């Protein structure tokens, strides 16, 4: 497979390039939650357990830079900001769904009780 450069970075495969857009612990959960409707920062923070404010901010900025999400600032006081999926972000949803189903299958195959019982 031929390697290629984009934004001063060398990529070896299209998979690596795709994962630069949606990979990591938090990007897919953020995109997944935005598929239904635009959400504010506080709504995302509340809906994604264990993510810090700093991490959510950085991941939202990265997703915006990759044009996976749109950030809309409303001219009101106090300031209101909403995040929504772009067309490019919407194209990632079926991929995320496939990865999620694969994860559930792996969990089941390993005999893990999911969701865990308290």
pLDDT tens for 34-63 read 999 999 999 999 999 999 999 999 999 999
Provide the 3-class DSSP secondary structure of residue 80.
strand
- Tokens 């067309």 -> residue: 87
Average predicted confidence (pLDDT) for the chain? 95
Q: How confident is the model at residue 92 (pLDDT cuts 50, 70, 90)?
A: very high
The secondary structure of the chain in percent helix, strand, coil, rounded to multiples of 5, reads: 50, 15, 35
> What pLDDT is stored for residue 57 in this prediction?
97
Per DSSP, the residues of 30-66 read HHHHTTTS-EEHHHHHHHSTT--HHHHHHHHHHHHHT
What's the residue count for the chain? 118
Find, among 54, 59, 63, 84, the residue nearest to 72 by Cα. 84
């Amino acid at each position: 497979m031929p390697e290629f450069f984009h934004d001063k970075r060398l990529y070896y495969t299209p998979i690596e390039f795709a994962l630069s857009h949606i990979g990591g612990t938090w990007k897919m959960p953020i995109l997944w939650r935005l598929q239904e409707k635009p959400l504010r920062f506080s709504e995302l923070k509340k809906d994604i357990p264990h993510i810090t404010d700093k991490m959510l901010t950085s991941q939202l900025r990265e997703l915006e830079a990759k044009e996976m999400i749109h950030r809309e600032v409303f001219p009101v006081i106090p300031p209101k900001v909403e995040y929504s999926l772009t067309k490019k972000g919407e194209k990632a949803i079926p991929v995320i769904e496939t990865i999620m189903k694969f994860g559930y299958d792996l969990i089941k195959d390993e005999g893990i009780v999911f969701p865990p019982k308290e």
